[in-house]
Amino acid sequence: MATIVILDDSPTNRSIYSRLATMVEDGVVAEVFADPLDALEWLQYNRADLVITDFKMPGMDGATFTRRLRSLPRMAQTPVLVVTAHDNRSYRLQALDAGATDFLQSPIDHFEFVTRARNLLALGRSLGAASDAPAEPAQEAGPVSAGSILDALPARISVTDPTGRYLFANAAFASALGRQVPELLGQTAPMLLGAERGTAAWNGDRQLFETGEAPPPSEEKRTDADGIRRRLLTTRHPLRDQAGKIVAVVTASIELPEEAGSPS
């Protein structure tokens, strides 16, 4: 059962978002707040699988709220969807820089809201499952192994070691490349993605290994093996051993709807 936290100072928006949250999947519980401080206090002692917040609010904007949320226990990897009615690119950049996972402009399309929320829940679960997996995970330990769980998700998940070689890839990641999972393991990003795209991917991983800090989510467009160009939101997170040392980087990409009027 998933818990979705909704924060918005508008009673109308809170009502709409909480109703849409129940459509994301069966059993969703919506915790609704009008005040950011009330939401942060609740999140100190309770778990959330997804947080949906307005950007412009009295006293604290969505970027500040997200930054404070990320400092709370168990909230480092929880997906955060920021919603605003203002068509201002700087808001989007501020929210992403603060640690937001995705950004949605209102008035919202109900189908898009539900789809993005569903994808973000899947992303959060995949990151949680990956962080619980061993540094060298078994691909098929059983019918409910970590690998089989990640293969069932629409997000593209991969895990790389400090040399840039893939330790793990789920079915969605392999399918986008037109390959089978075993073909990917032990390979590097430049080997699989080509020099330019692969080097960029490895540079993102290397920066995380060197700094210990996850970079902000990034958007990009990729042409997959099926010839279709897709818009993706990619996040990277460190995977640490019991001593706190980063032993791998978990990368997850979710597909985003094309923006209205944008070229393919």
Tell me what percent of the residues of the chain surpass a pLDDT of 90.
26
Do 81 and 105 form a contact (C-beta atoms < 8 A)? Answer: no
Tokens 């629409």 label which residue? 154
Contacts of 54 (CB under 8 A, 6+ apart): 7, 8, 9, 10, 13, 62, 82, 83, 84
CA-derived radius of gyration, the chain: 18
Q: Which residues pair with 236 in a beta bridge?
A: 251
Which of 13-27, 104-118, 146-160 bottoms out in mean pLDDT, i.e. has the lowest? Answer: 146-160
pLDDT, tens digit, for every residue of 46-100?
A: 989 999 999 889 889 988 999 899 888 778 778 888 887 766 667 777 777 777 8
Which is higher by pLDDT, 238 or 263? 238
More confidently predicted of 241 and 171: 171
Q: Are 21 and 28 in contact (CB under 8 A)?
A: yes
Residue 134 predicted with pLDDT over 80: no
pLDDT band at 217 (very low <50, low <70, confident <90, very high): confident
Q: Is 219 a residue whose pLDDT tops 80?
A: yes
Tokens representing residue 199 in the block: 């080097």
The answer to whether residues 163 and 157 touch, using CB atoms and an 8 Å cutoff, is: no
Domains and CATH numbers, the chain: 3-108 (3.40.50.2300), 137-256 (3.30.450.20)
Answer yes or no: pTM beyond 0.75: no
Distance CA 199, CA 197 (A): 6
The DSSP element (H or E) to which 256 belongs, if any, is strand 246-256
Q: What is the mean pLDDT of residues 159-180?
A: 89
Q: What is the mean pLDDT of residues 108-135?
A: 72
- Decide if 235 contacts 222 (C-beta within 8 A): no
pLDDT of residue 87: 66
pLDDT at site 141: 43
Query: Would you state the pLDDT for residue 128?
Result: 63
The mean pLDDT of 133-160, rounded to a whole number, is 64
